[in-house]
Structure 1
Amino acid sequence: MARPVAQTAFARRTAVPVAALLAACVAVALCVLVLGGRRAASDQGAASLRESILSAAGQCAAVEGAYPADLDHLVGAYGIRFDPSAYDVRYEAFADNVAPTVEVRAR
């Protein structure tokens, strides 16, 4: 038995919006995954930079007998390199014999 014309036309009209909705959902899911991955990578980079700064400060204290007073000393003498536009670094030295406080945040 043949289908009525109205049922066939309705089936065609509903198939297109469902496919478009499915494609939009997949696109949104991919964007969320990509942006989430970038954020995790920048957080991992910030943690790695913080550990590098603390390690260089410890090495400086062992070699020179005191922790460095500022981050510029570590950059110049101990090879710390980072992109200031990508990371916000806060380095606070309290005293020569106390380890500095280091905070690194991805921008």
Structure 2
Amino acid sequence: MYTDKKRKLWPWVIAAILTAVLLVYGFWLFAGGSRRNAKEEGATALKAVIQNCAQQCYVVEGVYPPELSYMEDNYGLRVNREDYYVTYEVFASNLPPKVTVVSKP
């Protein structure tokens, strides 16, 4: 005689749930890492823009700008202060300024 045995479904349900949890966790890790990389690349790009703007000011005026706000007012520089900490240090008007850009946590 042929009897149809009931298959146990619960191991497959548990395996499906664990797979879904692992996929969501992996996506969460990937998204967090890419967001962090984007902020670091943004900080690097902002630093390059500030240095290029200071260089342009030096070429036009013969001196490096004394403050970051000078470039914002006269050269159209826009700094995202919500996402980045920016320091702009000038030692002398004929030496390039030291620019540091760090992303906020």
Match of 1:76 in 2: 73
Q: CA deviation at 1:4?
A: 5.5
Match of 2:47 in 1: 50
TM-score for both structures, normalised by structure 1: 0.87
Q: Deviations over 1:2-57 (max 9, x none)?
A: 4666xx3xx31211111111000000111111121111111111111110100010
**2:31 aligned residue (26, 30, 34):** 34
Q: CA deviation at 1:82?
A: 2.1
Identity of aligned residues (%): 33
Distance in structure 1 (CA, Å) of the matches to 2:28 and 2:79: 28
Q: Counterpart amino acid of 1:77?
A: N
Distance in structure 1 (CA, Å) of the matches to 2:3 and 2:39: 61
Gaps of 5+ in 2: none
Q: Deviations over 1:54-78 (max 9, x none)?
A: 0010111111111111111111111
Q: Counterpart amino acid of 2:16?
A: A
Q: How many residues align?
A: 103
Q: CA RMSD in A?
A: 1.5
Q: Deviations over 1:80-103 (max 9, x none)?
A: 112211111011111111100001
Q: Counterpart amino acid of 2:23?
A: V
